[in-house]
Amino acid sequence: MSMVATTLRPIIQNKIILISLSSSIEYEPWDRFNGEIGREPLTDGIDETDFIGATMKYSYLMPKNGFVGENMAFEEVKLTSYNNYFFSVDKETKNPDVPYGNAFSCLSQIAIFNLGDGQCQMICSVQAHFPNGPPFVSGQIRSAMKAGVHKASVVISEAVGSYAEVYED
C-alpha cells in the first residue's frame, strides 16, 4: 500500500480526525472521485493527478475555549497535490457565530512527505485572512487560530501514525 493511500485515509475520513475535536460532524463527499481518493489500488483508467483540485466541505461543533463558547465551524478542504511521495490539502475554515466571525477566515495547509523507509513528515501552517482588513482584536484571533490548528495537527498526526501501523506492509 502506498504512503499516500495510507496517510490520506485519516484525513479523508474526517469523522476519524474530527471526532477527537467534536462529536457533532456533518460532511459532504469529495466533489469528484469520492470513491477513489485514498483508495489503493486505483480503478483502471483513473489517474491520481485527476484528484488535484477536488474539494470537500464539512462542519463541526467547536468546543468552548478561553476566547469563545461552543460554535459551529465550516470548513472547505481542497486537495492540492497527490502522488506517492507528497500530498497536500488547503483548508479554509469559517466561524460565523463567534465575535468578528464574518470578518475573518482561517487558511491552513497540511503537507505530508514520504521520506522513505516507512517514514513521513507532516508540515502544517496557518494564516488569518481578513478580507476587509484586520479588526482591533486580530492578535487574539490569530492566537486562537494557531492554538486550534496546533491541536488539530496533533490529532491528525496521531491518526496518521495509527493508520500507518495498521496498514503497514
pTM: 0.82
Q: Is 18 helix (H, G, I), strand (E, B) or coil?
A: helix
Convert the pLDDT of each residue in 5-37 to its tens digit.
555 555 555 444 554 555 577 888 889 988 888
The order of strands in the sheet holding 55-62 is 25-27, 55-62, 71-82, 86-94, 105-116, 119-129
State the pLDDT at residue 165: 60
Q: Could you give all domains of the chain from N- to C-terminal order, each with its CATH number?
A: 3-166 (3.30.530.20)
> What totals of helices (H) and strands (E) does the chain contain, helices first?
3, 6
Nearest alpha-carbon partner for 54 in 84, 82, 78 = 78
